[in-house]
């Protein structure tokens, strides 16, 4: 199975709307038209145009300094298409001052390029200095998510909350800025990311940020896991790809493709952590990054569910990642400065009919991120999760036609995502410059209405 090719089923609406009669009808009836999203390609500029930067808070200068290779503009020029509108909202400390959002964005909204970006940078509301500031900063979330729903042609909107004690140079913010203000975040929309106060060191090469790192990806024989392995290898990591013994052939194919090492490993085995720790320590001297991607569904309405389905899903998706993380840390196999990345799902946020087992497991994954983030911080390790929405894989190709088309269309981007979209988000968490990013759950769902 080719790892980078999505296994998606025919996209009926997408094909129709791009045909001559479809495009005609779309224009007449105002039907949504999915944009071909701009995705990362080495050597291409990160954005489809210059950045219009507004706001006079504590991060505006830092943003300009950190992104010195980007082109910035301060005042909108009519007719210009901007690659991004970025607003430093950290100076907004009262309800009245929220008017600054209107003043900056309203005149600029029509100037956003296709696959452009809106980015608002605020201060973590829970850590704000006053009641007024906390209210105003929290309001940024509703503003940004609503902007995301209004944007057209593959443009997206995100909010980043920076810790109030971050240094003036705000270097801890750079990896997040570079991810969100690039084609790598193509299918991430309407998200809120919290960045801590620590400074970060930029990698020597932003095109190979994982150079010298050892990464483990579970469930890497196919689908999202195989693409994570590819993106990690592209970014310079040595990759250990793990999957169940029965997936051996596909796993070897992934390993060959990425120049990685295959490990037959059932994550539910009681000695999985021990086996992984021994393997990685002997061959590579330890692990820098672990991605708990292996996952299964065993759908049934709760009334019809047997104990086997319940147990299997909870075991693979939740108990195993928890046990393996703890086991690797206890053995010292996951190095200081390590990264743990879990794979949740929008079903774990909103619930899904027929998926009480899966929804419980994927919500548990979010609990794991919340609970382990402060504990792992003591070892200099971060933990974050992605929550994919509708991603074109063998898993979603098996969904009945009507539900499948609805899953694709009911999002701000009117389409399903690609496995690479999930992988790019994971690679952002995995990067050495993301040390101030922990405890986040980022949905990779094109701002899906299902699961909102």
Kindly list the residues in this chain that would bind ligand NAD in the complex (CB under 6 A): 218-219, 221-225, 243-244, 247, 266-268, 293-296, 316, 343, 345, 388, 390-391, 393-396
Of residues 202 and 399, the one with the C-beta less far from ligand NAD? 399
For the CB of residue 368, give the shortest distance to ligand NAD in the complex, in Å. 13
> What angle is formed at CA 236 by the lines to CA 116 and CA 234, rounded to 5 degrees?
50
* Catalytic (active-site) positions: 358
Query: Are the CB atoms for 193 and 176 separated by under 8 Å?
Result: yes
Burial of 43: CB neighbours in 10 Å, binned 0-12, 13-18, 19+: exposed
For the CB of residue 287, give the shortest distance to ligand NAD in the complex, in Å. 16
Of residues 171 and 393, the one with the C-beta less far from ligand NAD? 393
CA distances in angstroms from 27 to 107, 149, 239, 414, listed in the order given: 25, 19, 47, 16
Query: Are the CB atoms for 348 and 362 separated by under 8 Å?
Result: yes
Query: What count of other Cβ atoms lies within 10 Å of the Cβ of residue 433?
Result: 21
- Identify which of 414, 415, 410 has the alpha carbon closest to the alpha carbon of residue 451: 410
**Which residues lie closer than 8 Å to 319 by C-beta, 6 or more apart?**
268
For the CB of residue 151, give the shortest distance to ligand NAD in the complex, in Å. 23
Of residues 151 and 349, the one with the C-beta less far from ligand NAD? 349
At residue 113, φ and ψ (nearest 5 deg) are -70, 160
Of residues 26 and 395, the one with the C-beta less far from ligand NAD? 395
For the CB of residue 236, give the shortest distance to ligand NAD in the complex, in Å. 23
For the CB of residue 295, give the shortest distance to ligand NAD in the complex, in Å. 2
Of residues 52 and 423, the one with the C-beta less far from ligand NAD? 423
Of residues 128 and 318, the one with the C-beta less far from ligand NAD? 318
For the CB of residue 246, give the shortest distance to ligand NAD in the complex, in Å. 7
For the CB of residue 448, give the shortest distance to ligand NAD in the complex, in Å. 10
Tell the residue number behind the tokens 């210009």, with chain if given.
80
- Distance between CA atoms of residues 253 and 259, nearest Å: 10
Query: Are the CB atoms for 385 and 440 separated by under 8 Å?
Result: yes
Of residues 313 and 376, the one with the C-beta less far from ligand NAD? 313
Query: Are the CB atoms for 9 and 232 separated by under 8 Å?
Result: no
For the CB of residue 2, give the shortest distance to ligand NAD in the complex, in Å. 13
Of residues 156 and 355, the one with the C-beta less far from ligand NAD? 355
């Amino acid at each position: 199975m080719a790892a980078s090719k999505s296994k998606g089923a025919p996209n009926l609406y997408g094909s129709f709307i791009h045909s001559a009669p479809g495009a005609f009808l779309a224009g007449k009836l105002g039907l949504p038209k999915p944009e071909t999203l701009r995705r990362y390609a080495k050597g291409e500029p990160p954005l489809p145009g210059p950045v219009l930067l507004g706001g006079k808070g504590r991060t505006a200068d830092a943003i300009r300094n950190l992104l010195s290779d980007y082109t910035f503009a301060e005042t909108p020029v009519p007719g210009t298409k901007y690659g991004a509108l970025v607003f430093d909202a950290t100076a907004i400390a009262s309800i009245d001052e929220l008017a600054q959002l209107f003043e900056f964005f309203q005149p600029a909204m029509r100037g956003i390029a296709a696959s452009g970006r809106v980015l608002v940078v605020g201060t973590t509301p829970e850590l704000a200095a006053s009641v007024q500031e906390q209210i105003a900063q929290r309001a940024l979330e509703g503003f940004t998510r609503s902007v995301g729903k209004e944007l057209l042609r593959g443009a997206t909107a995100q909010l980043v909350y920076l810790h109030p004690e971050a240094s003036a140079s705000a270097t801890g913010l750079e990896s997040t800025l570079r991810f969100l203000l690039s084609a790598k975040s193509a299918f991430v929309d309407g998200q809120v990311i919290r960045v801590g106060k620590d400074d970060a060191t930029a990698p020597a090469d932003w095109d190979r940020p994982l150079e010298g790192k050892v990464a483990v990806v579970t469930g890497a024989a196919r689908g999202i896991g195989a693409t994570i392995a590819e993106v990690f290898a592209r970014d310079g990591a040595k990759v250990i790809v793990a999957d169940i013994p029965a997936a051996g052939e596909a796993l070897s194919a992934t390993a060959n493709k990425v120049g990685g090492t295959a490990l037959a490993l059932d994550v539910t085995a009681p000695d999985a952590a021990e086996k992984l720790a021994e393997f990685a320590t002997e061959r590579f001297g330890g692990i820098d990054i672990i991605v708990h991607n292996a996952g299964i569904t065993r759908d049934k309405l709760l009334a019809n569910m047997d104990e086997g389905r319940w147990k299997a899903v909870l075991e693979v998706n939740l108990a195993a990642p928890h046990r393996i993380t703890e086991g690797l840390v206890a053995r010292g196999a996951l190095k200081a400065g390590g990264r743990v990345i879990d794979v949740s799902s929008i079903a774990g946020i909103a619930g899904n009919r027929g998926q009480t087992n899966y929804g419980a497991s994927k919500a548990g994954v979010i609990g794991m991120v919340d609970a382990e983030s402060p504990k792992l911080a003591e070892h200099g390790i971060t933990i974050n999760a992605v929550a994919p929405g509708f991603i074109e894989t063998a898993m979603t190709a098996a969904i009945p036609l009507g539900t499948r088309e609805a899953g694709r269309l009911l999002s701000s981007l009117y389409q399903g995502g690609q496995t690479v979209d999930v992988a790019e988000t994971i690679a952002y968490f995995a990067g050495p410059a993301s040390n101030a990013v922990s405890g986040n759950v980022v949905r990779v769902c094109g701002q899906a209405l299902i699961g909102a």
